[in-house]
């Protein structure tokens, strides 16, 4: 492809709204353009990348038994009502919804569990037709509360979603393992090393899930991974657990007293004012839930894990209570809530809270706290469970020996054990050898095609631009002639370009009549794996320069060997 015959609108300035390096580079290098919040157009370079990513994904899915199909984007509300997710998705406000001219409710598909279950229940009736893995690569829609980071968290994106149907749990495990292997193979072919971590099932439901993460060495990863330095334990922060090594204090219980804490409403302010460590304070955070107000209690040196908290409450949708709700529930402003005397509020406490003796808690009065409060004696707890984030250095809950540490990661895929959540509610059953009906056991498997592409940019870039892994690069090589306006120079360049095409190298020829600096900078910016630079001086000597995008030094090669050496260098990338 000639540069003048495609569309690559590179920019010198960084986009103001972009935060991640990958987002900035994809815009600057002419890969994407923003249409609206969380909605992007994929320009020709990006379309080439996405085509390659999709094809690699397709090949691995097919290799491990997947069968491709394509399902509608527009879904009637009735099918989501059957599974029970119409109401839950509405509460989470994550679904794009609309009504047709007949006032019938529909939504735009963000995932297709209901649709695929409807397809299979109408056609699959015998155990002889199982197992079955069906997948598609398609545009999805989710009404993200805060679209950000370019293609990382958009409202419209491309995803591969697959669904397995088995006759029993053992079959489901085999399908799950197949998809696990397919995922590792796919990401490796994309040039990405991934870590599979335990994750929360979220709105998908089911009994277990894992995420595939690309580990990044900076703060750009939107997910925090928790790993063990002694075993293979890996989980995202939402799911991670640590061995509970806290001990109940052996100090005697003292009489609870109320004290003034002027201008002290945060943990830092209260502990400084009372001269106590943060682990002696129990903070109370109020949430509005579907079934009323919830008070969550954790030690002052811990952070509440809202995903764990929601899980303890059977997946109830929660949002942080506003100032008016706090005032109504506690008769005090934000910053002074505590569990003593709460009425009509469910109290959920972390495991460690029961072990804190003579704790400091909010007194439900402005600028006042209790000291020497004790769970059970001074306040009631409805549920005790692990509802906190783990921290660096805690003991691993799996091996009980290793220490946990954290890394940043970018989620690029996920797999879910759905069990019979959808097949039971939607009556997707098969008949066994004895003529007895059973609900099919299902799994769900997603790969973010657009996310994978941007994750590669976030992982592989420098201050000059993108450094694409060859398998998903828009082109294998960019030919950069520095004197293309010279007829003799042009003839030689065109000859090399045509020879590249005959050996099936995917090449971008920068035939623009631009300054050398502009061309070289743009070549680095767009990140093609290999650059062939042809200048007047090198050409006179019968040579060209070859330089891998990720290399520091270039290599001079004779004209007669240029294409052959380019093939050899690309094979090494």
Q: Are residues 208 and 130 in the same domain?
A: yes
pLDDT band at 246 (very low <50, low <70, confident <90, very high): confident
Answer yes or no: is 508 within a domain.
yes
pTM above 0.85, yes or no: yes
The single residue listed with the structure tokens 């892994």 is: 469
Contact 14, 29 (CB under 8 A): no
pLDDT at res. 248? 82
State the residue range of the domain holding 309.
Answer: 257-385
Answer yes or no: is 246 within a domain.
no
The mean pLDDT value for 75-101 works out to 91
pLDDT at res. 145? 86
Answer yes or no: is 468 within a domain.
no
Residue 376, pLDDT above cutoff 70: yes
pLDDT at res. 317? 87
* Total number of domains in the chain: 3
Answer yes or no: is 249 within a domain.
no
CATH value at residue 227:
3.30.930.10
The mean pLDDT value for 450-466 works out to 96
Residue 10, pLDDT above cutoff 70: yes
pLDDT band at 148 (very low <50, low <70, confident <90, very high): confident
Q: Are residues 140 and 199 in the same domain?
A: yes
Of 374, 340, 372, the closest CA to residue 254 belongs to 372
Answer yes or no: is 390 within a domain.
no
Q: Are residues 226 and 295 in the same domain?
A: no
pLDDT at res. 204? 53
Contact 334, 265 (CB under 8 A): yes
CATH value at residue 288:
3.90.960.10
Residue 203, pLDDT above cutoff 80: no
Q: Are residues 367 and 411 in the same domain?
A: no
pLDDT band at 200 (very low <50, low <70, confident <90, very high): confident
Q: Are residues 57 and 146 in the same domain?
A: yes
Q: Are strands 74-76 and 97-99 parallel, antiparallel or unpaired?
A: unpaired
List pLDDT tens digits, range 150-165. 999 999 999 999 999 9
Tokens, residue 91: 């509460």
List pLDDT tens digits, range 394-403. 999 999 999 9
pLDDT band at 195 (very low <50, low <70, confident <90, very high): very high
Q: Are residues 265 and 379 in the same domain?
A: yes
User: Distance of alpha carbon 234 from its chain centroid, rounded?
Assistant: 15
Distance CA 135, CA 443 (A): 12
Strand partners, 543: 558
Residue 90, pLDDT above cutoff 90: no
Of 31, 36, 3, the closest CA to residue 17 belongs to 36
Q: Are residues 120 and 267 in the same domain?
A: no
Residue 499, pLDDT above cutoff 80: yes
Torsion angle of C-alpha atoms 102, 104, 110, 111, degrees rounded to 10: -120
Mean pLDDT of all residues in the chain? 94
The single residue listed with the structure tokens 């925090």 is: 224
Residue 92, pLDDT above cutoff 90: no
Answer yes or no: is 110 within a domain.
yes
Q: Are residues 234 and 262 in the same domain?
A: no
Distance CA 269, CA 315 (A): 33
CATH value at residue 562:
3.40.50.800
Contact 319, 266 (CB under 8 A): no
Tell me 109's DSSP state.
-
How many CB atoms are located within 10 Å of the residue 483 CB?
16
Residue 71, pLDDT above cutoff 90: yes
CA atoms within 13 A on the CB side of 209: 22
The mean pLDDT value for 201-227 works out to 79
Q: Are residues 191 and 72 in the same domain?
A: yes
Answer yes or no: is 251 within a domain.
no
pLDDT at res. 88? 83
pLDDT at res. 217? 77
Tell me 81's DSSP state.
H
Contacts of 494 (CB under 8 A, 6+ apart): none
The mean pLDDT value for 65-93 works out to 92
pLDDT at res. 208? 80
Pick 90 or 53 by higher pLDDT. Answer: 53
Answer yes or no: is 396 within a domain.
no
Residue 205, pLDDT above cutoff 60: no
Q: Are strands 465-466 and 368-373 parallel, antiparallel or unpaired?
A: unpaired
The single residue listed with the structure tokens 């003579």 is: 358
Q: Are residues 454 and 480 in the same domain?
A: no
pLDDT at res. 222? 79
Distance CA 218, CA 22 (A): 12
């Amino acid at each position: 492809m000639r540069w003048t015959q495609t569309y690559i609108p590179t920019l010198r300035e960084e986009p103001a709204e972009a935060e991640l390096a990958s987002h900035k580079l994809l815009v600057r290098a002419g890969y994407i353009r923003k249409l609206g919040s969380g909605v992007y157009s994929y320009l020709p370079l990006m379309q080439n990348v996405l085509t390659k990513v999709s094809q690699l994904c397709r090949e691995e899915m097919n290799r491990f038994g997947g069968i491709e199909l394509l399902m509608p984007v527009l879904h009637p509300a009735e099918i989501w009502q059957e599974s029970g997710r119409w109401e839950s998705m509405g509460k989470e406000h994550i679904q794009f919804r609309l009504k047709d001219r007949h006032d019938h409710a529909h939504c735009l598909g963000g995932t297709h569990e209901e649709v695929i279950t409807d397809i299979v229940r109408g056609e699959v009736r015998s155990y002889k037709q199982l197992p079955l893995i069906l997948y598609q690569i398609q545009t999805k829609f989710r009404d993200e509360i805060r679209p950000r980071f370019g293609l990382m968290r958009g409202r419209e994106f491309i995803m591969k979603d697959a669904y397995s149907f088995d006759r029993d749990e053992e079959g489901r495990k085999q399908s799950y393992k197949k998809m696990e292997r397919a995922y590792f193979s796919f990401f490796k072919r994309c040039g990405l090393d991934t870590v599979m971590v335990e994750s929360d099932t979220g709105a998908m439901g089911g009994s277990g899930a894992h995420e595939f993460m690309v580990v990044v060495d900076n703060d750009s990863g939107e997910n925090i991974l928790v790993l063990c330095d002694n075993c293979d334990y890996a989980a995202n922060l939402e799911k991670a657990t640590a061995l509970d090594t806290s001990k109940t204090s052996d100090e005697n219980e003292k009489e609870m007293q109320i004290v003034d804490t002027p201008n002290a409403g945060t943990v830092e302010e209260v502990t400084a004012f009372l001269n106590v460590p943060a682990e002696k304070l129990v903070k109370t955070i109020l949430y509005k839930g579907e079934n009323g107000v919830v008070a969550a209690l954790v030690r002052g040196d811990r952070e509440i894990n809202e995903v764990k908290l929601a899980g303890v409450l059977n997946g109830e949708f929660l949002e942080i209570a506003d100032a008016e709700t706090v005032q109504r529930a506690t008769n005090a402003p934000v910053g002074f809530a505590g569990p003593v005397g709460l009425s009509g509020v469910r109290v959920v406490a972390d495991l460690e809270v029961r072990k804190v003796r003579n704790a400091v808690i909010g007194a439900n009065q402005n600028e006042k706290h209790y000291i020497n409060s004790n769970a059970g004696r001074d306040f009631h707890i409805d549920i005790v469970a692990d509802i906190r984030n783990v921290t660096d250095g805690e003991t691993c809950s799996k091996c009980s020996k290793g220490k946990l540490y954290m890394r940043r990661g970018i989620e690029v895929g996920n797999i879910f054990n759905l069990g019979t959540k959808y097949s039971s509610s939607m009556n997707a059953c098969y008949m066994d050898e004895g003529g007895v009906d059973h609900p099919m056991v299902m799994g769900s498997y997603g790969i973010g095609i657009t996310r994978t592409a941007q994750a590669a940019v976030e992982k592989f870039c420098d201050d000059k631009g993108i450094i694409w892994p060859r398998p998903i690069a828009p082109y294998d090589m960019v030919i950069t002639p520095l004197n293309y306006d010279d007829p003799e120079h042009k003839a030689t360049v065109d000859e090399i370009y045509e020879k590249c095409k005959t050996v099936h190298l995917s090449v971008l020829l920068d035939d623009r009549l631009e300054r050398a600096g502009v061309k070289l900078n743009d070549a680095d910016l767009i990140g093609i794996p290999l650059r062939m630079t042809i200048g007047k001086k090198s050409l006179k000597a019968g040579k060209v320069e070859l330089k891998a995008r990720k290399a520091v030094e270039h290599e001079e090669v004779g004209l007669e060997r240029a294409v052959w050496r380019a093939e050899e260098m690309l094979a090494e990338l």
